[in-house]
Structure formats: structure tokens, C-alpha cells
């Protein structure tokens, strides 16, 4: 009896300390742009973001969808998504242009054409200017 109680105490204690650590999980969200003139497949896109829990994730997704007038198809912790999702890297929910520092929500950020450069841009103009300065045309 007392042994059981001791055991339970230990379990409770380890549970509490686990809750104390707020780990931000990586989440994936799939949106659909109902106003897109593209075909339905390309109007759907996936973004990734960090949130410590479901409610925070929901909040982030709902705010974003409202702001950009998008439909939420689904959102899930990345680690419980399928193999193909886990092994893919998706653009952040909100990207910053490496060149002009503007926040942008394009369907697809424009990557630098230099293969080993991870910079992303809001426009082709920013990409070209960055290329001239950083990689020399
Ligand atoms: Zn830019
Ligand atoms: Zn670059």
C-alpha cells in the first residue's frame, strides 16, 4: 500500500516536470486559397511553423487564414504526419525577405538561384539585387 503510494508519487512528480518544459513542436498546415485562379491542386499549399501545443497552433493557423482569406485543410504536428511530409522541408508560415526584410506571405518564396545559398525573397527583383551584391553577376 505505502509502496504503491510511493510509486504514484514518483509518477506524478515526473509528469509535472515534463509539463514544465515547454517544447515548441514543429507543425504543418495545409491551406487552400479559394480565390486562386490556378487549378485546385496548385491552390493548395503547405507551411510549417512552431507552436508549443494544439491551442497555440490553432490560434496561429486561424489568424493566418483569416488575414489571407484562406481555407484551412488540416494542421498537424509534423512528427505525426506521414513519411513524405516528415522528410520534406516546407516554407515558414511567414517568411522574411533576405534582401529587403519585408515580411511576406507569398504562396512560394523565391529562392536564391545559387545552389548553396539559403536566402529567400519576396520578389525576383530582390533576388537579382541580392545576387549582384552577394554572389557577383
Ligand atoms: Zn524583398
Ligand atoms: Zn544568394
Distance of CA 99 from the midpoint of ligand 2 (Å): 9
- Do residue 61 and residue 78 come from a single domain? yes
The cell numbers describing 110, all together, are 523565391
Q: Relative to the alpha carbon of 122, which ligand is closest?
A: 1
Torsion of CA 27, 32, 37, 42, to 10 degrees: 50
CA-nearest of 91, 97, 107, 106 to 128 is 97
- Do residue 71 and residue 121 come from a single domain? no
- Do residue 33 and residue 62 come from a single domain? yes
Distance of CA 2 from the midpoint of ligand 2 (Å): 65
What is the pLDDT, as a whole number, of residue 12?
53
Distance of CA 100 from the midpoint of ligand 2 (Å): 13
- Do residue 104 and residue 86 come from a single domain? no
The cell numbers describing 83, all together, are 513519411
Output the tens digit of pLDDT for each of the chain's 137 residues: 556 666 665 555 544 444 545 568 899 999 998 877 766 656 888 999 999 999 999 999 999 888 888 899 999 999 999 998 999 988 888 877 888 888 877 657 888 999 888 888 889 999 999 999 999 85
Give the Cα separation of 39 and 15 in Å (integer): 48
Domain count of the fold of the chain: 2
- Do residue 10 and residue 35 come from a single domain? yes
Bridge partners of 46, per DSSP, are 30
User: Which domain range does residue 99 map to?
Assistant: 94-137
- Do residue 85 and residue 100 come from a single domain? no
Amino acid at each position: 500500500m505505502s509502496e504503491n503510494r510511493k510509486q504514484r508519487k514518483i509518477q506524478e512528480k515526473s509528469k509535472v516536470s515534463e509539463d514544465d518544459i515547454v517544447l515548441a513542436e514543429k507543425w504543418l498546415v495545409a491551406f487552400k486559397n479559394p480565390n486562386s485562379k490556378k487549378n485546385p491542386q496548385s491552390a493548395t499549399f503547405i507551411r510549417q511553423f512552431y507552436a508549443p501545443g494544439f491551442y497555440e497552433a490553432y490560434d496561429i493557423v486561424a489568424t493566418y487564414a483569416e488575414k489571407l482569406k484562406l481555407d484551412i485543410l488540416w494542421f498537424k504536428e509534423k512528427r505525426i504526419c506521414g513519411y513524405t511530409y516528415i522528410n520534406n522541408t516546407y516554407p515558414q508560415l511567414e517568411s522574411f525577405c533576405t534582401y529587403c526584410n519585408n515580411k511576406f506571405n507569398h504562396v512560394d518564396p523565391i529562392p536564391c538561384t545559387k545552389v548553396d545559398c539559403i536566402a529567400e525573397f519576396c520578389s525576383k527583383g530582390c533576388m537579382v539585387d541580392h545576387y549582384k551584391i552577394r554572389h557577383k553577376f
